[in-house]
Amino acid sequence: MSDRSIRRAAEREALKAARKAAARQAMQQQPESPEISAARLAANRTNAQSSTGPTSTEGKAKVSLNALKTGLTGVTVLLPSDDAEAYKSHILSYENLFKPVGPEECALTQSIADLRWRLNRIPSLEMALLTIGRAELAKQDESFNQTTLTPILEMEIRRIYVKDFRNLQLQENRLARRREKEMAELKALQAQRKAQEQKDMLEAANLYVAARAQNKPFDFDSIGFEFSKDHFIQFLAQQKPAIQYQELNGTQQATA
């Protein structure tokens, strides 16, 4: 038997011993009564107010994991541990990409960017779970702190925390489906808006041509369209050859 096979066999035995010890410990622990007295409730509240939180690396990792779970499902998107400037840059990049117009498009763009921000957090959540799992196993066998995260060890951690990893996968699928749905909704909304803008632009251009053909002033502010005057001028510049032909043709008809 090679040295590598011996190490793997020893590792498997250590994992089995860790599982047995964890099972014995779980059997010895008695469930706490669901009822709680008023005095105890008051004491818990007092302790919670004076608590400074966990100080160990393992404790901080658990708290961080809980916060990240909240960040996947709750209304809070930017967590205290997140980089606020990176988040602002992330949102700005989506606004520059989609160039939303109006409250609905802006809301969808914000939501899509937030969904991507949450999805990008999931890999760090998985690493946090692996770190916590390794720390738990190290309580039973300190050698786990001295070895790298081998495939066997990772598989064992994923087996122990199977519900947590499955929940992450479910959340990832949920967020991805919602993002895909909102992307389609935004694209449809923008396509509808642009089609209406094109229609309104052509109508305004026809009014402009008619006014010029009759030597009348064209008052943009009085036509009542939602697009800006600068946008309309840019549209006219793109349509200049066709507009010049219409103006000439209209003038000839007016003098005939």
Q: Let me know whether 157 and 143 are in one domain.
A: yes
User: Which helix (DSSP H) or strand (DSSP E) does residue 96 occupy?
Assistant: helix 84-98
pLDDT higher at 104 or 231: 104
Instruction: Find, among 190, 151, 133, 118, the residue nearest to 12 by Cα.
Output: 151
The verdict on residue 129 lying in a domain is yes
pLDDT in tens, 47-83: 434 434 445 544 444 444 454 444 677 777 888 888 9
Q: What is the pLDDT of residues 27-36, one digit of tens each?
A: 444 444 334 3
Which DSSP letter does residue 238 get? H
Is there a domain that residue 36 lies in?
Answer: no
62 and 174 housed in the same domain: yes
**Do 76 and 158 belong together in one domain?**
yes
Same domain (yes/no): 145, 235: no
Query: b/e per residue, 51-65, with b = 16+ CB within 10 A?
Result: eeeeeeeeeebbebb
Q: Which of 192, 224, 242 is the last residue of a domain?
A: 192
| More reliable by pLDDT, 98 or 206 | 98
pTM as predicted:
0.60
Measured between alpha carbons, how far is 226 from 197 in angstroms, rounded to an integer?
9
Q: Does pLDDT of 217 surpass 70?
A: yes
On whether both 168 and 208 belong to a single domain, the answer is no
End-to-end CA distance of the chain: 106
Domain annotation covers residue 220: yes
- Boundary (domain end) residue, out of 192, 218, 234: 192
Residue 235 placed within a domain: yes
Whether residue 114 is found in the same domain as residue 204: no
Domain count, the chain: 2
47, part of any domain? no
Residue with the two structure tokens 């916590």: 132
User: pLDDT at position 134, please?
Assistant: 83
251/164 same-domain check: no
Do 126 and 173 lie in a common domain?
Answer: yes
For residue 48, being part of any structural domain is answered with: no
Coil/strand/helix, residue 239: coil
Span 148-174, pLDDT tens digits? 777 878 888 888 889 999 999 999 999
- Examine residue 227 and state whether it is found in any structural domain, yes or no: yes
Mind listing the pLDDT tens digit for each residue in 120-138? Answer: 999 988 888 888 888 888 8
- What 8-state DSSP symbol labels residue 220? G
Domain end: 192, 222, 240, which one?
Answer: 192
Structural domain range at position 81: 57-192
Report the distance separating Cα 204 and Cα 48, nearest Å: 66
